Structure 1
Amino acid sequence: MTSWPSDTPSPLWMSLSRKRFEAASLKGEAKADVVIIGGGISGLATALELARRGRRVILLEATRVGYGASGRANGQVISALTRHGPDAVRKAWPGERGERFIQLVKGAADQLYDLLERYGIDCDARRNGWLQPAHSPGRAKRVSGLAAQWAVSGAETGALSASQVAERLGTDTYCGGWEHRRGGHINPYAFTVGLARAAASEGVIIYENSPATRLSRKDGSWIVETPQGRVVADKVGLATAAHTGDLWPELRRSIVPVTSYQAATDPLGPLADKILPNDEASSDTRMDLRYFRKTRDGRLVSGGALTFQIGASRRLPAMVGKRLKEMFPALPENPMTSFWSGRIAMTVDRLPRLHRRGDGLCAWIGCNGRGLALACAMAPVLADAIDGVADEELALRPTAPPAVPFHAFVSRFARLILPWYRFKDSREV
């Protein structure tokens, strides 16, 4: 399992969080029914679910809880996928298989907000909705159809006109859009450490600074080795996302890790009331995605991707600041004052995957930029897979990890497709 380099900038969310979490590293041997590898939202929520079912659970985190991708996200809570609406899911997975997954996605935000309410997690949670503004008339027509599809599936969604989007965002640069009224935003680091505290309260034993270095089988049990100890367990759940190393090589080769950059302004004062006045979260329809939300103290947090990572700490805030100022001219010059990054796991078809082997090794992977709510929704599914629930009864059907063709090359150079994405966005009508 890979970890973060020591020079990675800490996200703004750490300084805004009122809570922290600390745990010792593993030393010596420990035993459990299940060992979960990865202390992000996915791993913690799964460990919590298993503990509530009466399982003895140990969780291993390579560095510190919340220091990985979960604590570095933009913090938007979205009950929808990046590319697939319900009709597309049904086409990919016909019959009951698709319907189960559609219902899982529809209720993903509910799972997250239920967890924070049940355990009193202090993470600046807002649930005023999520907006997807359309950057072209063609995209406005498409997302209007998406809103209708999700509404038929039982979600609280609706199409928005250009004037409605302008009123909700505080800018008239979009052509319409849609809303999901069950979405919102959180401080993702505070939510992650809150989940850790909740899991510990349910009996999960968490070890930080304990990277899993090797998996092996002996006498029908799994041996998970760390630098100073090992865990003996019946089952193993991998929740390592883009930081999946060689513990399960086929899993690593099934995804493309992508760096997502974030930047934030200083508190904007009265100007913050004119941007997203109802305090929703927003991410648009571009392939080179533009997204933004506010913090509790009136900062604007946005982000993006870069074709080349050299000078990212200077170039990304400048790019994002320019884009935001085009939408909100009242912003100061060079408004972005903080910067950080995270790694997300992308699949070729932008759909998540659940994997289960006969020897008790399980994983789900492929958040594709929608990891916060989806990780919470997938936690009971991964727990079911670990517990041996039949394939056909799972909300996401297990498959073998599909290898990405030319994986080494694609993983290294996937970001070079960004200029093509930007060209497509500019030609979209």
Structure 2
Amino acid sequence: MSALDSSMFSHVGKASVKAAFAPKATTSYFPKKVLLSIFSNMETTELLKAAAVDQRWRRIVLTPELWTTLIDPPLGLLPRLSDASEVTALDISITGAEHFRKLCTLLPRFLPQLEELSIYLYSRDAGSFPFESLWDVLCRPAPLLRTLCLKGEFSWRGIPAGSSLLGGKAGKLRTLILGGFRPVNGKRGYLVSAFSGVRVLDIAGPSLAQTGLTIRSQYPSLRELTLHNVHPKLMEHPFVAPLPLRKLQIHFLAIVLARDAENWLRAANIEGLNEVFATLGEGFVLGSFEGRNIRTLACTAVGGIFRMETRADGDYVRTALVARDDVERVLGRLVGLGKMSHVASVRFEGVDAMRLLPSAHLEAMPILDTLDLVMSFEDIRSFGDAKVQLFDVGDFNGWPRLNNVTKFFLRGKKGFGVNVDREQVRRLVKAVTPAVTKVKCLNIAT
């Protein structure tokens, strides 16, 4: 809540809900956003009283929007939720075993009417959770369910041999998100069955390893796929993507070698996909556009890791996480593959990323039109410090190559602020201007 909202409702909390039970004539004056903030601080009994004020308050108390704001939500509301036919989505975050146990006993009462079910489990003591009770529920058919999301410290322990998620009947299921946990019983029963209608799948690599990569046959309608914990054993099987697939995310384990990841992705024929994200095989991934020309290059520094992104003609994007020491090598690889000659826009974010600018092979971008340099707020504050320079000595030797740039931006996410030595900004402008003689838009945010 804002400071104004806090002052208006500072007397409302777990100890007192007198203001919440105002006469019905006044309830329309409370915006939904304010009511959600108030209700999120109430105990179960208080929420039940609030739901009795009028229909509008009841709908807000029972809305999934409220539940998404709660950790270990008041499960005493679940029976009320099952009575509300308009509630078709449930989003629950749980940390305690007792809440988990209560959820498992109440879930069957309203699962048949749900279209979306998301359970987030955060606990360091997940070993004490009765997962067998949850699998007993989720191995039953749910004919209306379109989205199932299970993320956190889930365990496959307790899955009966031969059991299948949702009874092996896909129904209307379109999105299946299982995060990084391994949903198999390790013997002969597999939680994940052939759900032909699923279009979005988020799953751990070990879940598929024992049967090989049969994604194409099990999920023929798949459009988006995220694979976690991809390891060498799984990579013994070639990845054959379903024909409709458009978006792919691959998270390799640290034990996987970069060259093996690249070869595996190369055989997967990822060039035709609209979006690809990978944590290894960066140079190949960033340039895999099936003959399309890269138009934009973006490099964002996040600590010692860089998020590099290339975009080609049309709706085609490639993203890779690159270690700081490997950025120059990856950029050189793209130049060596002849991928940079059509780049028209370059965006570098973060001081470290900007320091790599001279090694970005700008001379290999003859039609470069837009150069966008963005610094974080912390970078901006240190911009005037003599010990922290935006560019290294001799960096400006690269500027004459930018004689085709017509748009040059140097700015901060939140503006330069009062801590900036404006004299350094003037020097920078003076150094840059002769090199970008065709600039029509020079934006130095101070």
Short-chain TM bin = under 0.3
| Larger CA Rg, structure 1 vs 2 | 2
Identify the structure with bigger relative contact order (alpha carbons < 8 Å, sequence gap 6+). Answer: 1
TM-score of the two chains, using structure 1 as the length reference = 0.21
